[in-house]
Structure 1
Amino acid sequence: MSFNYRKWTCQLFMLAVLFLPASLYAQTQDTLRVLFVGNSYTYFYNLPQMVATMAESQGKAIVTRQSTVGGSHLGEHWNRERETRSRDLIEQGGWDYVVMNNHSMSTINTPEDFDKYGEQFVALIKQHGAQPVFYMTWARKWNPLMQETITKGYEKLVKATGADVVPIGPLWMKSIALRPDIDLYFEDGSHPSPEGTYLTALAYYRFFTGKSTSEIPDRLQTVDKDGEKLYLAIIDPNTATFFQQLVDSFDMKTLADDR
């Protein structure tokens, strides 16, 4: 019997076609896609990229994208003001989570709009197959008493909408109480410092994966468009260890589970 090369090649090709989609499907299922909607509290020191890089360092895939404008409220994102495309990106679908970062003073200065646009975004996100997640922000450095009002505003909204929340503000307050020597704030007393962003990113990594942060490097690196090494964070190793222990002992879903 002579060897039929053409028939063998055809059979080999059909086997490749048969098994390739399954592997691609598995890869897709293992990848989380997260859209961050918000303002400078999200883009300071590249929070979305830091979360993705932390995941990559642990062999996990989180694809992060952002729709951010400095100082913006969710109402501006909803109304497509200031050239925002947040609603368009959500409506395109394909996200597992959409994280909403409202203005840090919205629970205090505009509580009605805070509730209104939070509820509208939750409904839109759920409609397009993703899980809505609120980014609970922190009190300003000069007035930690703000945190109570911020926390209560998010508690109310989470219980009303069934969304999730990552309680970054309370996490920050605990860090400050335990280690006041570590400055989580940028020099303006509002935005996060590199350490503040690193702590926040650890919390999101744990929220999305459910895994310990203990093996996350204190130096996070990626590559630029030319393939050159680019550091997203360089944190003192002792500080990083403290942050990891703090995050791993902190219940990230307390508020969500209480709804």
Structure 2
Amino acid sequence: MRRCFVVAVLTLLALAGAQASEPAHRVLFIGNSLTYVNDLPNAFASLAPDGARLDVDMIASAGASLADAMRNPLVTKALAEGGYTDVILQERGGDAFCPTACRQEGVSALSAMRSAKDAAHMVRAAGARVFYLGTWQSSRETNEALEFGERAIASASGAGYVEIAESRRKLMQAYPELAWTHADGQHPGYATTAMMALRTWRAMFGVTPTTVPCVAGEVHYHAPMPDGILHIDLSKKPRTCLVPLDAVRELAGDP
């Protein structure tokens, strides 16, 4: 009996040690209203398994482009001193749009290209990985033009690309009952925010989440901290889950 007790204690200690030795992740979202409406970083943080060492922050204000972010001393200071391991960049909707005329001129002419490259360079200089989170349009043709630009920007920036646009359109057809668009007709609905959270997690960690993205505390429409860094606190109440469990794998893009 005593031997079994000792073995059990040693097993628990080993598990605790393994958990403590897992690398901590400090994640920063840099974006705009597409990022903060429905609290994307909060939904992303909720996907962490029990015991995971994860801190998530956000810098986002209404209408902000990545060019605006690169001129913001708060952003440059956070990237240089924040100790982040992973940074997600989200441009304003449509800024990466690249139709036929754009492709003929060359994608390098996109105004969003330079700011994304500058941001990604700063992120990597601080020792973090960088991800470029996509946006969306309404039709297959416009989504394809947007994704062409986004892929080119992500590639030129050395960033992992998280595609949203055309997958979202197809999922809207498969799950028409979900809230894809906010009541304002422009911003993400709960399902779109959930999709972004799930696909960003999958891109960052290489695994498909199996839990529902939920938001702790108030679900925001206006920027919760437009002039500062929002630190995500998952202990806040109430807890609002964004989609049903049976939609998670499809929204996550599980192959």
TM-based fold match above 0.5: yes
Alignment of 1:108-257 (within 5 A): 108=97, 112-139=110-137, 141=138, 143-214=139-210, 216-217=211-212, 220=214, 222=216, 229-235=237-243, 237=244, 240-250=245-255
Structure 2 residue 76 is the aligned partner of structure 1 residue 87: yes
In 2: Cα distance, 1:221 partner to 1:73 partner = 25
Instruction: Return the offset for 1:155.
Output: 1.4
Cα distance change on mapping 1:90 and 1:221 into 2, 3 Å: closer
Deviations 1:65-84 (A, max 9, x none): 0110111111111112xxx6
Question: Residues of 1 paired with 2:181 and 2:82: CA distance?
Answer: 34
Q: By how many angstroms is 1:182 displaced?
A: 2.6
Please tell me whether residue 96 in structure 1 is matched to residue 85 in structure 2.
Answer: yes
| Contact residue 19 and residue 52 of structure 2 kept, 8 A | no
TM-score normalised over the length of structure 2? 0.74
Q: 1:72 pairs with 55, 64, 77, which one?
A: 64
Instruction: Quote how far apart the aligned CAs of 1:206 are.
Output: 2.0
Counterparts in 2 of 1:31 and 1:187: CA distance versus 1, 3 Å:
same
Instruction: Tell me the equivalent position of 2:44.
Output: 51
Cα deviation code 1:84-112 (max 9, x no counterpart) = 62121111141111111111121239963
Question: Aligned letter for 1:63?
Answer: D
For the residues of structure 1 that align with 2:43 and 2:133, how far apart are their CA atoms?
16
* Counterpart contact for 1:97–1:130, Cα < 8 Å: yes
Pair 1:131–1:44, CA change in 2 (3 A): same
Matches within 5 A, 1:5-44: 27=20, 29-44=22-37
Partner of 2:94: 105
Closer, same or farther in 2 for the Cα pair 1:179/1:89, shift >3 Å? same
* Separation in structure 2 between the aligned mates of residue 228 and residue 119 of structure 1, nearest angstrom: 36
User: Larger relative CO (CA 8 A, sep 6+): 1 or 2?
Assistant: 2
Q: CA deviation at 1:136?
A: 0.8
CA offset digits 1:96-129 (Å, max 9, x no partner): 1111111112123996320010111111111110
RMSD of aligned alpha carbons: 2.8
More helix by share: 1
Give the residue type in structure 2 aligned to 1:106.
D
- Looking at structure 2, the residues matched to 59 and 114 of structure 1 have their Cα atoms a distance apart, in angstroms, of 38
Report the CA distance between 1:248 and its aligned residue.
Answer: 4.5
Unaligned runs of 5+ residues in structure 2 are 1-16, 103-108, 219-232
Structure 1 vs Structure 2: percent identity of aligned residues? 20
One-letter code aligned to 2:152: K
SS in 1 for 2:181: coil
AA aligned to 2:121 is A
1:28 shift after superposition: 6.9
TM-score normalised over the length of structure 1: 0.73
Report the more deviating stretch, 172-181 or 70-79: 172-181
